[in-house]
Structure 1
Amino acid sequence: MPYIFNEDIIREIRESNDIVDVISEYVTLKRTGSNFVGLCPFHNEKTPSFSVSPSKQMYHCFGCGEGGDAISFIMKYANLDFVEALKLLANRANIVLDEKEANVDSKTEREKEIILNINRETARYFFDNLLDDNNALKYLYNRGINKKTIKAYGIGYAKNSWDGVLSFLLKKGYSEEQIEKAGLVIKHSDGNRYYDRFRGRVMFPIIDTRGRVIGFGGRTIADAQPKYLNSPDTPVFSKGNNLYGLNTAKKYSRNRIILVEGYMDVVSLYQNGINYSVASLGTALTANQSKLLKRYSNDIYICYDSDNAGLNAASRALDIMKEEKINAKVIFLPDGKDPDDFIKENGSNRFEHFLNNSLNYLDFKILFYKKRYNLNTLEGKIDFTKEISNMLKQIESPIELDAYINKVSLETNISIDAIREEIREKQRGQTNSAIKDKYINTNYRNTNKYNILPVKYNLEPGHLMAEKNLLNFLIKDKKIFDHIKDRFRPDDFLEQVYRRAAEIIFDIYNNEEEIHQDEITIHFEGEELEKLKEVINLESDFGEDEKIKAVEDYIKKINYYELKIRKNDIKEQIADIQNNKARIKGDVEKLIRELCLELIEIDKELKLHQ
């Protein structure tokens, strides 16, 4: 039986293979403006006439006329047929194809078609509701959104009714099971009734780049919780693989796209003439979303809230984009503002001022770690300098490196020579080398957990179990998050996988009332994913009061183990100082005395935790 690939599989393979990356494996390309050029591989030429467009994901040779997408390039270059080229690119993107996957599953395709039809009908229903509801319209008008923008994004309203959407779609001939599969209704616990998922909310249709309504986001206009509610994953919708507003942004992007956090940020920017922004869909940015952004723009700007949570999210998004070889920048707005509030209060000209002064990867990280560490203390200066030195070691340009070393030196009053030596040691992979001077290499009273584990210590079984159980409780119960959020942070987890999972959980709970497991697992793979599934599958039969008591015990155990780590770390530092007295600048005895005082304090705390 011949292979027949359905459109979604072909689209997934195209979107997973950036055309510039693919062609660069066979042709030397050089950036020229927004495109890349090189010598055409299909005819002999001395002057480059072969052009590749990242935004269009197409290539064209102005000399011989050849052109197409990544699939057609592989077919032509390697002399392969369509199926062979598709398999090659699928393998390149780690997409598994077999005969069963390749042949069209007519039942699955029909199911997707029905869901898309249901979504389209529902989007129209919500839009008509909005125009008939004065309260919902007034809410949007008060937020500065006019009718033109409402129409551009198809914004609607879900009536405050238990069965508004359900009744509407049943009359259209769809079954309750089909409407549930589209994520628009929820089955009652009695197993016999269904009710609307979205009630009393302004609705934002999520539209893909092919113009299809694939899901919805709803924002309450009252005080209901959660404030934002999104469609669950369905056969046509995956939060981690799509972006709100991309269908509009791609029309106006001018080869730049702004990534924001919320639907209202996108809509408010559009309202004020910034019509090329997109938003992730209730989760932290994923690698797949980064790949999707890369297809449509070379210049990505991250503009999250400028409070601590927003800065943390921007830092993680930058790291994800860096892994995808995207040189993103961060628009840092003042006074903790989000894009929605800022542009309404200050206008597009002021917003573009901050856009034009956006921060590259290193400049943002310097700002980020300045806020994390207290540079008024010696300890803060040490931790800050170590963090930044670890990044500076990757800079290849001596001029650029020199500029950043000078910048860090001015921020910390640590000598240029000391910073340069720290970078050299990190480049040689000797992060635990002998102490060279008081400021850089004597890292006493270090509370930076990212440097403590897992390099030097193996977690004890009891401590590891405490972290597992606490994380399990967090995933399954927002009340636990509310109980501990002000005194226990994600970076208090010492196991790296649990820490990353906790960061995602805290981000989600800051916007929603519950977590779907796939919102967390989508960020992990391989052994890390198995480790996380182990946590998710833990079961307990604690009552509410017992659960809170257990949480307190888990936190106590985690804090106790951290104190033991700090104690061992300080003892090692004292030994290092005593063995390297001749090479340490400053008052060595004073330094040892300070460390000994801290040991005494830690011993007191350890006794309290016993």
Structure 2
Amino acid sequence: MPYILDENIIRDIRESNDIVDVITEYITLKHAGANFIGLCPFHNEKTPSFSVSPSKQIYHCFGCGEGGDVISFIMKYTNLDFIEAVKLLANRVNITIDEKEANVDLKTKKDKEIATNINKEVARYFHNNLLNDRSALDYLYNRGLKEKTIRAYGIGYSRDSWDDVLSFLLNRGYSLEQIEKSGLVVKHSDGNRYYDRFRGRIMFPIIDTRGRVIGFGGRTTGNAQPKYLNSPDTSAFSKGNNLYGLNIAKKYCRNKIILVEGYMDVISLYQHGINYCVASLGTALTPNQSKLLKRYSNDIYICYDSDNAGLNAASRALDILKEEKIEAKVILLPEGKDPDEFVKENGMDRFQYFLNNAYNYLDFKILFYKKRYNLNTLEGKIDFTKEISNMLKEVESPIERDAYINKVSLETNISIEAIKEEIKQKGQINSSIKDKYINNNYRNTNKYNILPVKYNLEPGHLMAEKNLLNFLIKDKKIYNHIKGRFLPSDFLDQVYRRVAEIIFDAYDNEEEIHLDRIIAYFEGEELEKLKEVINLEDDFDEDEKVKAADDYIKKINYYELKIQKNDIKEQIANIQNNKDSFKGDVEKLIRELCLKIIEIDKELKLHQ
């Protein structure tokens, strides 16, 4: 749902906020010739490498590469989106913004607003219940929580009653329909009655990064099952799109974020001085939560329970974070302990030791697969080596790769040469157009940075991508229709792909689409290209648009298959011309590549 700000207003706001004045409100700058310098707020450094130019009205860090104008500084430093950053700067210089909404689904927006208002009132109600219930307070005090911590997280208590919250909200003037939609009550199976979802539980309000109460988690104080109960998905809340505690952690996460499993893990670590912890709301980490984490830090530490379930969850979380190009680490506590228990029993110094000695991706995977496979058997050694070799083929540094090859060899007594050959064959066979030309784009730390186009795409291919992107910008229904079968990475045009990433991020997180924010990432020819997409008109009705989107995807897939086929042909020619440089069964490798071409030809016929 696009929000539009007048470009002239944005320019006035940018020009009215001197970049030196703004940045000195956040960090210390010193005059150095024509510029100002200071310690970079975006990475740790002892020698100033952060430069601000008053004449050009830009900043740049020569240490980490961050740079931009006054708006991008506010976005990065305060973790605001484009519209929010512009509003902050407008308020600073008393400029009034005329904000226009386009195609806003008013009913959805109203439902969400009512749900968050209900949640806000109930959160206060639960909190007051707790403060006036000695047994519930004692339960938390006995677990080591202090009053300051209880207030910081707004912890509350739901009375052990079937209709306490229901009666409270009805008396506040809300309808049964509105209360049911909030997820706080459940309709009885007889269809005529409602009862409270949360009864006799310690309540943890879930607050988004804008300070809105969007849902709740409840923990039983007795033996009731389930032990933890979350709000269902509502117009205001989606478990897979939010993180508990991020509203607090975002203020302190300049260097790192620790990802834990439970509410009490977050709260206990906060009370012991670690205020940059979040939890994934009782679910395995989702791709959307991974994207949300990346907005605030690239240094993520996973600290799950150290039992088998926790290790499995940590392994999956590492892979999901890796998809976002986040090289996360895993904090491994002694077996049988969760962060809450460990820090209470051992203190912060001991926890800091395990934090400082966290395992990187490959070290953890080696440990993880050593537990999975029996290295006392030949079969276990082979399976273990194949698993790790599959990861090592992606390691770009020859030094790092060799170090891990030696490590695997020591663990298994398999020769270094054999492991290298395994890695080489996996790399040759698994190489594809996506690996070589698409996934490389995500290595750039600036998520929406524009890279040059790798191909001279055919006109029909470009037009299909342009039309599909136009649909996605203007109609969320198209996104819902193609979600799961078409990704931003399926756009081969670099500009279109970056726009799609922003759009998918927004839709995934139930956020409005801000055209101004998208435009801000582009300039010159790329900006003109984006404007062409935005200005496209269509005369399709709803059903026709869905069919047209399917046709565009079919056409895009057709052209991508042609490129894949040509790429494999080049690989075959390269192998035939350089047979001496390939070890192993070269003819077998060529046969496998030829089989790939046959499979692609079959798919091409389906897409014609």
One of 30, 34, 38 as aligned partner of 2:42: 34
CA contact (8 A) 2:123 2:213 kept: yes
Please tell me whether residue 181 in structure 1 is matched to residue 191 in structure 2: no
Equivalent-residue separation in structure 2 for 1:351 and 1:119 (angstroms): 35
1:337 aligned partner, one-letter code: K
Partner of 1:50: 60
Q: Which amino acid aligns with 1:387?
A: E
How many pairs were matched up?
A: 383
Structure 1 residues 95-106: aligned runs within 5 Å: 102-106=102-106
Alignment CA distance shift 1:192-1:371 (3 Å): same
CA contact (8 A) 1:128 1:156 kept: yes
SS in 1 for 2:429: coil
Cα displacement (A) at 1:298 = 2.0
CA–CA separation in structure 2 for the residues paired with 1:40 and 1:276: 29
Per-residue CA deviation, residues 554-610 of structure 1 (Å, 9 max, x unaligned), is xxxxxxxxxxxxxxxxxxxxxxxxxxxxxxxxxxxxxxxxxxxxxxxxxxxxxxxxx
Paired position in structure 2 for 1:221: 221
Cα distance in 2 between the residues matched to 1:290 and 1:223: 33
Partner residue of 1:413?
A: 413
Q: Secondary structure in 2 aligned to 1:340? A: helix
Partner of residue 375, structure 1: 375
With over 3 angstroms needed to count, the CA separation of the structure-2 counterparts of 1:227 and 1:424, relative to structure 1, is same
Contact persistence 1:209–1:246 (CA under 8 A) = yes
1:66 & 1:251 partners in 2: Cα distance? 18
Taking only aligned residues, the RMSD between alpha carbons, in angstroms, comes to: 3.6
Q: In the alignment, is the contact (CA less than 8 A) between 2:249 and 2:275 conserved in 1?
A: yes
What is the aligned partner in structure 2 of residue 13 from structure 1?
Answer: none
Alignment of structure 1 residues 505-524 onto 2, 5 Å:
none
Equivalent position of 1:153 in the other structure = 153
Q: CA deviation at 1:105?
A: 3.2
CA distance in structure 2 between the aligned counterparts of 1:369 and 1:209, rounded to whole angstroms:
37
Task: Describe the SS at the equivalent of 1:428.
Answer: helix
The separation in 2 between residues aligned to 1:348 and 1:39, in whole angstroms, is: 37
Could you tell me how far 1:287 is from its partner in structure 2? 0.9
Runs of 5+ consecutive residues of structure 1 not aligned to the other structure: 7-30, 71-75, 77-81, 83-100, 432-520, 529-610
Aligned AA for 1:342?
F
- 1:337 partnered with 2:337: yes
Tell me the residue number matched to 1:398.
398
Quick one: distance in 2 between partners of 1:325 and 1:191?
48
Deviation at 1:170, TM superposition (A): 1.0
**8 A Cα contact 2:40 2:50, kept in partner:** no
State the alpha-carbon separation in 2 of the partners of residues 140 and 209 from structure 1: 26
Deviation sequence 1:183-219 (CA, Å, 0-9, x none): 1001111111110000011000000111110100001
2:311 equivalent to 1:311: yes
Q: 1:366 to 1:170 in 2, by over 3 A?
A: same
Q: CA deviation at 1:44?
A: 7.8
Query: Taking structure 1 as reference, are residues 132 and 33 closer, same or farther at Cα in structure 2, changes over 3 Å only?
Result: closer
- The yes-or-no answer on 1:525 pairing with 2:535 is no
C-alpha displacement of 1:112 = 1.9
Note if contact 1:40-1:49 (Cα within 8 Å) is conserved in structure 2. yes
Residue aligned with 1:301, SS: strand
Tell me the distance in 2 between the aligned counterparts of 1:326 and 1:203: 32
| CA distance, structure 2, for counterparts of residue 187 and residue 296 of structure 1 | 39
Aligned partners of 2:302 and 2:331 also within 8 Å: yes
Q: Kindly tell me: are residues 52 and 193 of structure 1, through their superposed partners in 2, closer, same or farther at Cα, counting changes over 3 Å?
A: farther
One-letter amino acid matched to 2:262:
G
Q: How many angstroms does 1:424 deviate by?
A: 1.5
Change (3 A) 1:202 1:363: same
Measured after TM superposition, the shift of residue 393 of structure 1 is 1.0
Q: CA deviation at 1:135?
A: 2.2
Paired AA for residue 188 in structure 1: H
Q: Distance in 1 between matches of 2:114 and 2:220?
A: 28
| Counterpart contact for 1:202–1:221, Cα < 8 Å | yes
Alignment of 1:92-491 (within 5 A): 102-429=102-429
- Separation in 1, partners of 2:157, 2:312: 32
**In the alignment, residue 34 of structure 1 is paired with which amino acid?**
F
1:433-475, CA deviations, whole angstroms, 9 ceiling, x for partnerless residues? xxxxxxxxxxxxxxxxxxxxxxxxxxxxxxxxxxxxxxxxxxx
Tell me the percent identity.
Answer: 71
Asked if the contact 2:318/2:328 (under 8 Å) is kept, the reply is: yes
Distance 1:263 1:61 in 2: 38
Q: Is the 8 A contact 1:5 1:103 kept in 2?
A: no
| Secondary structure of 1:285 counterpart | coil
How far, CA to CA, are the matches of 1:116 and 1:353 in structure 2? 40
Distance 1:121 1:40, change over 3 A: same
Please give the alpha-carbon distance, in whole angstroms, between the structure 1 residues aligned to 2:283 and 2:304: 13
Return the letter of the residue paired with 2:484. E
3-state SS in 1 of match to 2:275: coil
Distance 1:139 1:370 in 2: 41
Letter of the 1:526 counterpart: R
Give the deviation of 1:53 after TM superposition.
12
Q: Is the 8 A contact 2:185 2:196 kept in 1?
A: yes
Corresponding residue of 1:578: none
TM-score (normalised: structure 2): 0.58
Which residues of 2 match residues 540-579 of structure 1 at below 5 A?
A: none
- Equivalence for 2:519: none
Cα separation, partners in 2 of 1:3 and 1:131, compared to 1, 3 Å? closer
Amino acid corresponding to residue 50 of structure 1 in structure 2: H
Answer yes or no: is the 8 Å Cα contact 1:59–1:69 preserved in 2.
no
Residue 251 of structure 1 aligns to a residue whose secondary structure is coil
Residue 184 of structure 1 aligns to which amino acid in structure 2? L
Measure the CA separation in 2 of the matches of 1:377 and 1:50: 55
Q: Aligned equivalents of 1:3 and 1:208: distance in 2? A: 21
Q: Which letter maps to 2:250?
A: K
Q: Is the 8 A contact 1:390 1:426 kept in 2?
A: yes
How many Å separate the matches in 2 of 1:246 and 1:233?
A: 18
Letter in 1 for 2:258: I
**Aligned partners of 1:127 and 1:155 also within 8 Å:** yes
Shift of residue 430, structure 1, vs aligned partner: 7.7
